[in-house]
């Protein structure tokens, strides 16, 4: 049932959305919108495919919100940016902060590859792009992080 899918996946989707947006409130909005959009279609989707489907919807919701926020920032500059910052997360992990400064597509590739542990092919399916794009975006994202934090070890 739709409710069961909601109870099962809401936390996982919230964390995915939170990692992408860097904002708890935004993440809740994203997950809520994703369930509202996905709800009518979940009936025809096998149980094991519901999470991948919901993940894709979440990514789409996040990307459209990111575009909208970018427009807002252009028009309202600092004020709009302040609106979307979650003060409770100000002391967040430095690596995550650096990740949030990456362009959205690089950020999405890194979160899907290194948090969700999706293979390149599945990452490409979720993002609606080619495997080559996933490879290049992941590589560029990692290069930027490497430039900031070194290569560890």
**Distance of closest approach, residue 103 Cβ to another protein, in angstroms:** 16
Whole-number Cα distances in Å, 62 to 52, 107, 114, 146 = 15, 12, 18, 26
Site for another protein in 133-152 (CB under 8 A): 142, 145-146, 149-152
Given a contact cutoff of 8 angstroms between Cβ atoms, the answer to whether 115 and 44 are in contact is no
Q: Output the smallest distance, CB 88 to another protein, in A.
A: 9
DSSP helix, strand, coil percent of the chain (3-state; round to 5): 80, 0, 20
Could you say which residues in the range 11-50 bind another protein, by CB under 8 A?
11-12, 14-16, 18-19, 24-25, 27-29, 31-33, 35-37, 39, 41-47, 50
CA-to-CA distance for 106 and 141, rounded, in angstroms? 5
The tokens describing 34, both together, are 């994703």
**Could you give the 3-state DSSP secondary structure of residue 47?**
helix
Name which of residues 72 to 111 contact another protein (CB under 8 A): 89, 92-96, 99, 110-111
Binding another protein (rule: CB under 8 A), the pick from 9, 55, 58, 134 is 9
Rounded distance between C-alpha atoms, residue 128 and residue 63, angstroms: 12
Shortest approach of another protein to residue 6 CB, angstroms?
Answer: 6
The residues binding another protein (CB under 8 A) are 1-12, 14-16, 18-19, 24-25, 27-29, 31-33, 35-37, 39, 41-47, 50, 89, 92-96, 99, 110-111, 114-115, 142, 145-146, 149-153
């Amino acid at each position: 049932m739709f409710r069961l899918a909601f109870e099962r996946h809401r936390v996982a989707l919230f964390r995915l959305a939170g990692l992408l947006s860097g904002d708890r409130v935004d993440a809740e909005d994203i997950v809520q919108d994703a369930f509202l959009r996905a709800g009518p279609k979940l009936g025809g989707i096998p149980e094991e495919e519901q999470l991948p489907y919901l993940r894709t919807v979440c990514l789409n919701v996040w990307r459209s919100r990111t575009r909208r926020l970018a427009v807002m920032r252009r028009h309202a500059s600092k004020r709009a940016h302040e609106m979307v910052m979650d003060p409770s997360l100000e002391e967040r992990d430095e690596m995550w902060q650096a990740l949030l400064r990456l362009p959205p597509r690089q950020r999405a590739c890194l979160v899907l590859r290194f948090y969700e542990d999706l293979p390149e092919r599945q990452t490409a399916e979720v993002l609606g792009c080619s495997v080559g794009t996933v490879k290049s975006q992941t590589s560029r994202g990692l290069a930027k992080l490497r430039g900031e934090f070194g290569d560890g070890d």
